[in-house]
Chain A
Amino acid sequence: MNLLWLQSGGCGGCTLSLLGAEAPGLFETLGGAGIRVLWHPSLSEASGGEVLDLLARVETGEVALDLLCIEGALLRGPNGTGAFHRFAGTRTPMIDWVRRLAARAHYCLAIGTCAAFGGVTAGGSNPTDACGLQFEGTYRGGLLGTDYRSGAGLPVINVAGCPTHPDWVTETLMAIALEGLTTQDLDAYARPRMYADQLVHHGCPRNEFYEYKASARTPSDLGCLMEHLGCLGTQAHADCNTRLWNGSGSCTRGGYACINCTSPEFEEPGHAFAETPSLAGIPIGLPTDMPKAWFVALSSLAKAATPERLRKNAVSDHVAVPPTIRPTKLR
C-alpha cells in the first residue's frame, strides 16, 4: 500500500512521536504491513521537483494513493485564501493540495488533534481560521465537508491526540493494511475505537488515591489530580495509562493532569488547564457515566474513610507512609 504524508498547521510533533514507535520500530512496522512510504516530509530523500512530480502522478491516478495522512490543522485564512500556508515550492495553498489529494485517497487519515479537529492551532482567537479535515471542533464539516468519503467509503479517520501516540497511528495503519477498516471501528468523533473506547483513568497509578479522594495539592504531589489540578482522565478517551508512552510514561504518571488531548476543543477548556473548576467543592466536570448525586455522596463517604497512608502520601512527593506489612496468616 502506498502512503503519502503531508504536514500543514501543526507542530510536527505527531511525526516525531511516531519515530518513537517501538517493538518493532517504525520502519519495520510499516514494511511488515506492506506499507510503502511514497513521501514523508521529514523522512524521505526526495526534495523539491521530485516531490512535485510525484504529487502530479498521484493526482492523475498514475500512482495509487492508498493512505493519505495529514498532520496539522488546515489553515483557511486569511479571508478564505489559505495563504497562511502555501505548500513550499508551489504558489498553491496547502488546503487546495489537501482537497485535491483527498479526492484520490482510498483512506484519508487525520494524524493528531490539529488535523482531526483544529487543535491548539485553532485556539484563542484562531488567527489563521484553522480547522480539521472533517471537523471544526465538535462540529462536523471542516475542510472537506460532512459528505466527504474516501475511496473506501469512510469518513476521515481521526487518529486524534496531541501528539498522537505512535501505536495509535501504526496500529490503525496496520489494521487498514491487514483487514481494512469500517465505520463500526470508529467512534462518534471518527476516532479508532481500538484506543478511543478506553479512558485515561483506567490504569492510572493514582487510582487508589482517586477512590478515597486523596488529592494532590501542588505539582509533584502523589495524590489524584482530579480534585484540584485539572485532571480529565475520567473523561478522556485514550488508553494512555494502560499502553504507556516512551516506555513507561503517561501524563498522570509524569505528575500532571490529563488535559483530554484526544478530544475536540480540548484547547479551550474554559478554565486554566491545571486547575479544576469547582462549585461548592465539587468539580464541575464529573467522570463520564457517573450521576452527580452519586459522585457527591460517594466522595464524601470516601473522604471520611481515607486511610492515613493515602491522606499523607497524596500531598507528599515520595512515599511518606509505606503500606503496613502484615503476616500473611492474619489476612
Chain B
Amino acid sequence: MSTLTLGPFNRVEGDLEVQLEVTDGRVRKARVNSPLYRGFEQILQGKDPRDTLVITPRICGICSVSQSVAAAYALADAAGVAMPPNGELATNLILACENLADHLTHFYLFFMPDFARPVYADRPWYADTEMRFRALSGSAAGVVLPARAHFMHLMGLLAGKWPHSLSLQPGGTAKPVQAQERIRLLAILGAFRRFLERETFGDPLETLVALDSASALDAWAARDPGRGDLRRFLQIADDLGLARLGRATDRFMSYSAYPSGGDRLFRTGLWADTGPQPLDIASIAEDPSHSWMVGGDPLHPADGVTIPDAEKANAYSWCKAPRLAGGVIEVGALARQLIDGHPLIRDLVSESGGNVRNRVIARLLELARVLMAMEDWVKAIAPGEPFCEQTAIPDEAIGVGLVEAARGSLGHWLTIRRGRVLNYQIIAPTTWNFSPRDAAGVPGALEQALVGAEVRPGETTPVAVQHIVRSFDPCMVCTVH
C-alpha cells in the first residue's frame, strides 16, 4: 500500500486536498480535505439581518447569486413576503444566468482540459482534443470566454454587476426591467443560444432536450460524430469508460428550482433505492465528528453551531458532514435532472448510476433546458408592473432559504433575535458532495466515488482521480465558507 497527497488541486473553485491509499494500482480509501476556513457563519452573528444580502454572496465568487438568492429567500421566509411575478422572473433569470455560465465554465475551462494531457497522447481523439481544450491556449477558450462574457451582459442589465450583486431582495429585484431592456435581454439569449447550438451541441437545443434514452443519445452522437463539443466528449467518455468511473452512493437530492406563478421548473425530491421519494428537510443534520469544529452530535442546521477547533483529534477537514436521515447524499445537475424526471437522465442512471459521464451529460442538458426556459421568462416580463415588494424584517423570526446552485442544493438557515442575526448556518452543495466521514465512519460522496479509481504507474496526481473530482464541479470556498 502507498499513500498519495494530491494538492494543490486546481481547476476546481477554491483550495482542495485529497489523500489516497493505493494498492495494486487502485484507490482503496480516500480522504477529502477542504483546507481553507473563513468563518462566514461567525461573521454574520449580530448583524442586521438585511446585511446578509451583502455578506453571504461573498462566500463564493462562482455562485454568489445562488448565495444571494438563498439569503433573500430566507429573509422572505422570515418576513412572510412573496415576490410579484416580475420579481420571480427576474430572480430566475439572474440565477439561471449564473448557473449556466458555471456549467459552461466548468465544461470548457475546468473539466475538459484534463483530456488534453499527454497521458492520452495515444488515443485516437487526442490531437483534436488537445487543439480544442488545452488549458489557457485551446481553441475552445478563445470562443467560450467571449460567449460567456456576452451572456453575462444579462447580469449587467438585471443585476448591475456579477459577482456580488445586491439586486436580489426578499421581495423581488431592485432592478426594474424597462421595455427596451426586455428586448435587449432577448438579443443576449439569442446570441448565447446560437453559440451553444454551433459550438457545444452542433444541433438545435430542442433536439438535445428531446433525447429520451441512452440509445437515443448514442444514435444522436453517431449520426454526426465530432460535430459539437458534447459529441466530442461522448466519444472520449466511451473510449475511456467514464460511465464506469466515479460512482458514489446513488442517493440524490434536489430542493427544486426556479419558481414562477406557483409552479417550478425543476421538481423537489429525494432519489433513493432507485426511485423518487419525498424529501424531508427536517431530517438534515450536520455531523462535525471529523471536521475541525467544536461539537459531537449531529445537529439540524436551524440549531447548528460553527466554531472552529484546529486541534481536534481525528479531524481532517474544515467541512462538516451533512447527512439526510443519516445517509450520504449526492447533489448537482444530475440529481436535479433525475429527480425532475428527464427521461434521458432517468435512463442513463438506471443503466450506470451516478458517474463521471452522466454528471457531465446532465450539466450540458441543463444548459439547453434552462436557456429555453429563460427565453420564456424574458417574454413573460411585464415592464411597468412591480418588481419588488417592500419588506419589513421582523425582530424575532426564523427563516429558511433553499435554492439550487449550479453544483447542487444550497440551504441557508436564519434565526433573528432582537432585530439581529442570532444564528446563520449554511450547507452548500459541495459540503454534501465533499463531506468527510461521519461519526459512524461512513465516507462522503466523493470519498466513496474515488474508491476503485485507477492509479497508473508513476502517477502522483492520477488523472482518473482528477476526472472524478472535477465531475462534481466542486466549489471549495462554499464548502466550509
Within 8 A of A (CB), among B3-52: 5-11, 13-17, 33, 35-39, 42-48, 50-51
A87 touches B161 (CB 8 A): no
Number of interface residues of B (CB under 8 A): 91
Which of A44-52, A147-155, A285-293 has 4 or more CB atoms under 8 Å from chain B?
A: A44-52
Which residues of B are found within 8 Å of A15, using beta-carbon distances? 61
Q: Which residues of B contact A (CB under 8 A)?
A: 5-11, 13-17, 33, 35-39, 42-48, 50-51, 53-55, 58-62, 64, 105, 109-110, 113-114, 116-117, 134-137, 141-142, 145-146, 148-150, 152-167, 169, 171-176, 178, 308, 310, 318, 383-384, 386-388, 390, 460-461, 466, 477
**CB pair B149 A12 closer than 8 Å:** no
B155 shortest CB reach to chain A, Å: 5
**A275 CA to B51 CA, complexed, in Å:** 10
Tell me whether B43 and A124 are in contact (CB under 8 A).
yes
With A245-B161, A248-B157, A249-B156 known as contacts, the answer to whether A51 contacts B10 (CB < 8 A) is: yes
Contact A89 B10 (CB under 8 A): no
In contact, B9 and A11 (Cβ under 8 angstroms): no
- Min CB distance, A326 to chain B, in Å? 23
- Say yes or no: A84 contacts B50, CB within 8 Å: no
Q: From A22-30, A174-182, A187-195, A301-309, give the one contacting chain B.
A: A22-30
A272–B51 touching, CB < 8 Å:
yes
Which of A61-69, A101-109, A134-142, A251-259 lies at the binding interface? A251-259
Bound CA span A12–B109, Å: 15
Query: Closest CB of chain B to A277's CB: distance in Å?
Result: 12
- Cβ–Cβ < 8 Å partners of B387 in chain A: 220, 317
- Interface check A283, CB cutoff 8 A: no
Does A83 make an interface contact (CB < 8 A)?
A: yes
Interface residues of A in 214-269 (CB under 8 A from B): 218-220, 222, 240, 244-257, 259, 261, 267
- Chain B, residue nearest A50 (CB): B461
A42 in contact with B37 (CB, 8 Å): no
Query: How far is A272 from B55 in the complex, measured between Cα atoms in Å?
Result: 11
Nearest B-chain residue to A78, judged by Cβ: B310
What residues on B are CB-neighbors of A28 within 8 Å?
142
Contact A88 B149 (CB under 8 A): no
Contact B58 A12 (CB under 8 A): no
Q: Give Cα distance in the complex from A319 to B384, angstroms.
A: 8
In the complex the two chains form, is A85's CB within 8 Å of B15's CB?
Answer: yes
> A19 touches which one: B5, B6, B145 (CB < 8 A)?
B145
- B60 lies within 8 A of A13 (CB): yes
Q: Which of B42, B161, B171 contacts A125 (CB 8 A)?
A: B42
A181 to B407, CA, bound (A): 41
Option from A26, A88, A318 in Cβ contact (under 8 Å) with B384: A318
Residues of A contacting B17 in the complex (Cβ-Cβ under 8 angstroms): 88-89
- B157 touching A13 by the CB < 8 A rule? no
Known: A13-B62, A45-B114, A86-B35. 7 other contacts (CB 8 A): A19-B105, A19-B149, A121-B43, A219-B174, A251-B165, A255-B173, A317-B387
Which chain A residues border B148 with CB–CB below 8 Å?
19-20
A22-B149 CB under 8 A given contacts A27-B141, A272-B51:
yes
With a cutoff of 8 Å between Cβ atoms, the chain A residues found around residue B390 in the complex are 218
Contact of A254 (CB < 8 Å), options: B114, B134, B159: B159
Given A11-B64, A48-B460, A248-B157, A220 and B310 contact (CB-CB distance below 8 Å): no
- One digit per residue, 1 when the CB lies within 8 angstroms of any chain B CB and 0 when it does not, for chain A 122-134 equals 0111111010000
| Residue from B43, B47, B136 within 8 A of A44 (CB atoms) | B136
Q: Is the CB of A48 within 8 A of B9?
A: yes
**CB neighbours of A48 from chain B (8 A):** 6-9, 460-461
Contacts of B137 in A (CB 8 A): 27
Residue of B nearest to A9 (CB): B38
Residues of A within 8 A of B178 (CB): 318-319
Most buried by B among A8, A20, A119, A272: A20
B16, B158, B169: which contacts A88 (Cβ < 8 A)?
B16
B54, A47: Cβ atoms closer than 8 Å: no
Given contacts A12-B14, A45-B136, A220-B387, are A84 and B160 in contact (CB under 8 A)?
no
Q: Closest residue of chain B to A55, judged by CB?
A: B8
| Neighbouring B residues of A317 by C-beta, 8 Å | 176, 386-388
Closest A residue by C-beta to B13: A12
Asked whether A84 lies within 8 Å of B308 as measured between CB atoms, the reply is yes
Q: Which residues of B contact A81 (CB under 8 A)?
A: 310
Cα of A170 to Cα of B407 in the assembled complex, Å: 29
**Which A residue's beta carbon lies closest to that of B388?**
A220
Q: How far is the CA of A81 from the CA of B292 in the complex (A)?
A: 15
CB of A265, distance to nearest CB on chain B (Å): 14
Q: Which residues of A contact B58 (CB under 8 A)?
A: 11, 13, 119-121, 162
Closest to B134 in A: A45
23 cross-chain CB contacts under 8 A? A7-B15, A11-B64, A13-B61, A13-B64, A22-B150, A25-B142, A26-B145, A37-B136, A40-B10, A42-B13, A44-B135, A46-B10, A47-B9, A48-B460, A52-B8, A85-B15, A85-B36, A244-B156, A245-B156, A250-B161, A253-B175, A256-B174, A318-B176
Q: How far is the CA of A240 from the CA of B135 in the complex (A)?
A: 31
B37 contacts which of A84, A163, A246, A274 (Cβ < 8 Å)? A84
**Which of A21, A90, A220, A272 lies in contact with B175, CB distance below 8 A?**
A220
Docked Cα-Cα span, A25 to B136, in Å, equals: 12
- Whether B35 and A88, one on each chain, are in contact in the complex, defined by CB atoms closer than 8 angstroms, is yes
